[in-house]
Amino acid sequence: MKTFERSLTSVLLKEFEKRQPVFQVLTGPRQVGKTTIAHQVMDKLPLISVYSSADSPLPPGPEWIETQWRRAEHEADRSKKPVLLVLDEVQKVRGWSESLKIIWDAARRSLRDIRLLVLGSSALLIQEGLSESLAGRFLLHRCSHWTFQECADAFGWDLHRWIYFGGYPGAAVFSDDEQKWKRYVTDSLIESVLARDVLQLQKITKPALLRHLFALAATFPAQILSYNKMLGQLQDAGNTTTLAHYLRLLETAFLVSGLELFSRGSIRKRGSSPKLLLWNNALVNALSSRSFDESSADAAWWGHLVENAVGAHLVNELSPIEYTITYWRHGNNEVDFVIARGKQLFAIEVKSGRSGKTSGLEAFRARYPEARFLVVGGNGIPLRDFFAAPAGSWLK
């Protein structure tokens, strides 16, 4: 069976056609195909390739990067041709950015043509390393969870199935056996990310609390939950500052975001009740006791899944450098998602049924008449159309 090819493969192939003064960085969640994309690029490029992964139980030191670079230099000297070097899970290497800066700067003065692709699955650690030591030396590519269109093309899924099973390609093969699918997502995806990308790489004083916070978020997808209510639901919860910090760590691992309350013209209310958003609906349903049929039959729960899927589509596809994603609530009026891009403002309301009140949008319009409005689902943009197009295409 032919391996499905994501659009990033052709993007990277074009970047590596000739030598450039920058290297390429591919970042995104675990198990969405970053390594597959790298191997597809290696297979298609008419270059010698050197691949190595730092994803080991004990994080390697900076000598790991130097060793891999020496391997690439050896191939370049032997063949007298350009070499593609791929460093996977580079955020695991201690001091990776400083080491890479020294090597890369020296390489730019060399006659050897070594083209570099760096892969990483921790947004925080990758971003910190790039901004602190490697500014101006890279191009960043975001590899998101699989979209509805990709799952439809690769697995023949309809929209209903994608909303429940989410966008992890490795789990798709188990979707006909729901219990096996739940075990795979829980053990191979969620546990791997928590244990290897969060707990192993960050100083966590309450690891049990971090896990419980993630489970709580999966119980309340696309719902607003105050920190005080979270404290009441969690044992050994510490304080709201700890919860806010852990929620941020879960976001850097592409698991959960706590969307803030929108406020125009002033500092957003940090510490306001966050809207919990899972980056992939598989993370919700793997921990839920509901089956696919039970979820479909429960209109209220399915509404939360649809709204979470819309939010996940936004956070996966919209660059945080360009867009700010929040929600709005005033009294009984609420807007599901508010997106700001410079002076542009978009208010998005999600409807999982045929009808529904839009009083939140009307109240928001009264306060922010410059905003543009989208209704997704119901009598607005059909859900299938919304998910089948890039999120940014609706914000033009």
The β-bridge relationship of strands 275-278 and 256-259 is: antiparallel
- pLDDT for 70: 97
Residues in Cβ contact with 36 at an 8 Å cutoff, skipping those fewer than 6 apart: 3
Query: Is-contact 228 315, C-beta < 8 A?
Result: no
Tell me, what DSSP letter sits at residue 381?
B
Rounded to whole angstroms, the Cα distance separating 231 from 243 reads 8
Render 344-362 in DSSP notation, one character per residue: EEEEEEEESSS----HHHH
Could you say which DSSP state residue 274 is in? P
Q: Is the pLDDT of residue 268 over 60?
A: no
Check whether 358 has a pLDDT greater than 50.
yes
Residue 270 has pLDDT above 80, yes or no: no
- Token pair of 125 as six digits: 């650690």
Q: What is the pLDDT of residues 207-239, one digit of tens each?
A: 889 999 999 999 999 999 999 999 888 876 678
The model's pLDDT over 87-118, given as tens digits with 9 standing for 90+, comes to: 999 988 988 889 999 999 999 889 999 999 99
| CATH number belonging to domain 7-142 | 3.40.50.300
Average pLDDT, the chain: 91
Residue pair 220/276 in contact by the 8 Å Cβ criterion: yes
Mean pLDDT of 53-69: 91
Residue spans per domain, the chain = 7-142, 148-394
Intra-chain end-to-end CA distance of the chain, in Å: 38
HSE toward the beta carbon, residue 49, CA cutoff 13 A: 15
Taking only the tens place, the pLDDT of each residue in 143-173 is 999 999 999 999 999 999 999 999 999 999 9
pLDDT in tens, 291-316: 999 999 999 999 999 999 999 999 99
How large is the average pLDDT for residues 126-138? 76
What is the radius of gyration, based on Cα positions, of the chain?
A: 22
CA distance 279 to 93: 26
| CA–CA distance, 27 with 140 (Å, rounded to integer) | 8
Closest C-alpha among 193, 349, 382, 350 to residue 282: 193
User: Against a cut of 0.85, is the pTM above it?
Assistant: yes
Please give the structure tokens belonging to residue 250: 């879960």
At residue 320, the 3 state secondary structure works out as coil
Residue 204 is predicted with a pLDDT of 86
